[in-house]
């Protein structure tokens, strides 16, 4: 993981002002949003089901905008999401499912991570994936290389 990846490369930071990102984010969050730290990751294998940690801030809507530099499909590590899991009461129900464990691995409904009912977010290089960071997500079936860059953008905190 490389933190602040976009800030290290000003040409990438310009993507925040690109209408293909800015316009979508403004449409979802309104005109008064703020950029959070970004990162770049190199994934191998699966990731566990989770919401993003800082997305648990109760008074913020936070969007993750992800760009994969490699093709990712349902069997090659694309993000899988559980639709509706960012909202109550489903958010708490899913949280309880995954945290009612004594020792990992625990598979709700006796289903391994890649068998959980979910929706795949297939992506090709050049695509943009955006989702609420409270949404439960994972990546399963990943091969030896998945390069991903992300931006986190939220509503402005109250002062």
Q: Give the tens place of pLDDT for each residue, 74-96.
A: 888 899 999 988 888 888 777 77
What does pTM read for this prediction? 0.81
Query: Domain containing 78: what range?
Result: 2-155
Q: Please tell me the number of Cα atoms within 13 Å of 16 on its side-chain side.
A: 20
Beta bridge partners of 119: 81
CATH code at position 19: 2.60.120.620
pLDDT in tens, 108-123: 555 556 677 889 999 9
How many domains in the chain? Answer: 1
Q: 157 with 60: CB under 8 angstroms? A: yes
């Amino acid at each position: 993981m490389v933190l602040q990846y976009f800030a290290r490369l000003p040409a990438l930071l310009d993507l925040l002002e690109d209408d293909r990102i800015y316009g979508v984010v403004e449409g979802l969050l309104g005109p008064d949003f703020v950029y959070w730290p970004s990162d770049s990751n190199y994934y191998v294998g699966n990731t566990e089901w989770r919401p993003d940690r800082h997305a648990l801030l109760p008074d913020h809507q936070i969007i993750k905008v992800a760009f994969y530099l490699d093709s990712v499909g349902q069997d090659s590590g694309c993000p899988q999401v559980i639709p509706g899991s960012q909202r109550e009461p489903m958010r708490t129900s899913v949280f309880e499912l995954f945290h009612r464990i004594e020792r990992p691995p625990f598979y709700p409904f006796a289903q391994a991570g890649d068998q959980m009912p979910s929706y795949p977010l297939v992506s090709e290089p050049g695509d943009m994936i955006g989702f609420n960071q409270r949404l439960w997500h994972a990546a399963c079936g990943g091969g030896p290389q998945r390069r991903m860059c992300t931006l986190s953008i939220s509503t402005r905190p109250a002062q």
